[in-house]
Chain A
Amino acid sequence: MVKKVKRYFRLYKVLISQFFKVILQSKVDFLMGLLGFFLTQVMGIAFLYLVFEQIPSLQGWTLDQLIFIYGFAQIPRGIDHLLTDNIWMVAWRLVINGDFDRYMLRPMNIFFQVIAEKLQPDALGELLIGAILVVISLGKGIVIVDAGRILLFVVSVLAGALIYTSIKLFFASLAFWVKISGPFLQVAYEMANFAKYPTEIYAKAIRFIITWVIPFAFVAYLPASFFLKQEVSAAVIGIEYMIAVVFWCIAYAVFNHGTKVYESAGN
């Protein structure tokens, strides 16, 4: 078992170091990717500024608080994006054109092979802006800082990243049945954008969906509010953690089943 884990680690290191070499050969591309994601996030902040020109607060939330929520949301998103971006390829390309074959032919865990094939440096754009916004919010003194919360911050970010990965994996796995699941994944993934705002602004049904069905609320808004408001219970992080585990199990089971019904290409 230990030997097996060691082997996976060694392989991951080899693959990723190869990948870095490729990135270093194309610095311009790397910077452009970074810029793309950075800009996307900046636009989101600009949107908030423009809206708050018109209103003093949004259902009791101030602009500063919303900016923290926004920034906090970028960190788990960025981590997942950095590590598991190749899942998108499963949804769009690998299944329909049969390139998924190669994972099936190697004596290693398939999911591992999928994610080990690529690191997405563009994600650093998201991580960067997330970190900047969180630091600004800390400077403004609107975030509660204590030992427990620092620990839970780490737990929450990791659980959040796992929720992202699970949602991506689940929707990408649909490709095994419908050949191209990119559109589904795209839409599901984009729903994360809406959980960057306080969920109480939505109608009940929608709030339910982004909290429990595609649980992005537990990645962004809900844990972020725990760091902003004394009265929010730490249980919210516990639930986030449980959701992460449950969703991961579901997504991984669907993925595994998908590889069994995989039809390859050429028919």
Chain B
Amino acid sequence: MKKKLRIYLPFASNELKRQMAYKGAFYLFIFISLFGSFIQYFLWMAIYGSAENSVLGGLTREEMVVYIFMVYVTGSVVMISISDWVSDDVVKGTVAMNLIKPIDYRMSLISRAMGQVVYRFLVPGVFIWIGLEIYKVTVLGLSVTGVTNVLLYLASCIMSFFIYVLFDFCFGMVAFFTTYIFGMLMAKEALLSFLTGQLIPLSFFPEVVQKVFDYLPFSSMVYTPVMIYLGKYSDAQLCFVLARQAAWVVILYVLGSLIWKQVTKRLVVLGG
């Protein structure tokens, strides 16, 4: 275990350092990315303003504010697109090199992703989160989110991270079969922003569609932790959604291993 840590830790810390190296880019990026969330906020406020009901898709106006910003925080921390790196490695032909080294390619990618998680959590994640809590108490007149909810949220986020990167690893394997993964990445992002609830809470979808979503891993990526944070689940539901997340981690892990085996076989045959 300790040895493993020694092997994979550099992947994480290098990524973190790499990210921090571009300082100038960095401050403005925080500022503008926050700005983007505010625009979304206004759009939703206008929608609530035009609606006859005060509750839309099971969320009050105040809850929607929390939803928008927590989705941003969660998504930015959890959704680390490792398939970009896979496609980079495929293009540069460095995957084969990774096969020679005594390290697990998937583990090295996930470690690198963890480095990004830390970075994204520090800036801007945690600041928006704190800002949101302050806003909640002072402007919206809600109480601070309870410790239990926060802890459950964090636990859920950790699983979300694994669900996302394990899924994305499988997805990244597509890169071995195409020379141009960019279009696929676009399609993936478009679909995910919808299916994970980033664009609009999943509760806005028709009942039938929501049923389908229950059998897909995407709702477990962002929607679940945020709804936990909002305290929208009963104890029984809570156990269920967390168990479902855990199940997805296992399923996607196994699936990824299977796909990787196939891909490496092909790699060996083709000598790529």
Contact = CB atoms under 8 A, between A and B. Distances in A.
Contacts of B199: 43, 47
B183 A36 contact: yes
A58 interface: yes
Interface in B104-131: none
A29 B183 CA distance: 7
A180 B184 CA distance: 24
A187 interface: yes
**A interface, by DSSP: helix, strand, loop or mixed?**
helix
A180 B24 CA distance: 9
Interface residues of B, number: 43
Given A26-B180, A32-B184, A206-B39, A55 B190 contact: no
Contact of A203 (B42, B50, B179): B42
Interface in B184-217: 184-187, 189-191, 193-194, 199-200, 204-205
B25 interface: yes
Interface string A36-71: 110110110011001101111111000000000000
B85 interface: no
Nearest to B49: A59
A225 to B, nearest CB: 16
A54 B47 contact: yes
B102 interface: no
A10 B186 CA distance: 34
Interface residues of A, number: 44
A31 B199 CA distance: 25
A146 interface: no
Interface stretch (B28-36, B157-165, B221-229, B242-250): B28-36
A184 B27 CA distance: 10
**B interface, by DSSP: helix, strand, loop or mixed?**
helix
| A34, A36, A183 interface centre (most CB from chain B within 10 Å) | A36
Contacts of B97: none
A59 B32 contact: no
Interface in A172-213: 177-181, 183-184, 187-188, 190-191, 194, 197, 201-203, 206, 210
B50 A56 contact: yes
Nearest to B201: A50
Interface of A: 26, 28-29, 31-37, 39-40, 42-43, 46-47, 50-51, 53-59, 122, 177-181, 183-184, 187-188, 190-191, 194, 197, 201-203, 206, 210
12 contacts: A33-B182, A35-B187, A39-B187, A40-B186, A50-B205, A54-B56, A183-B26, A183-B29, A191-B39, A201-B42, A206-B38, A206-B42
Interface of B: 22, 24-26, 28-29, 32-33, 35-36, 38-40, 42-43, 45-47, 49-53, 56-57, 178-180, 182-187, 189-191, 193-194, 199-200, 204-205
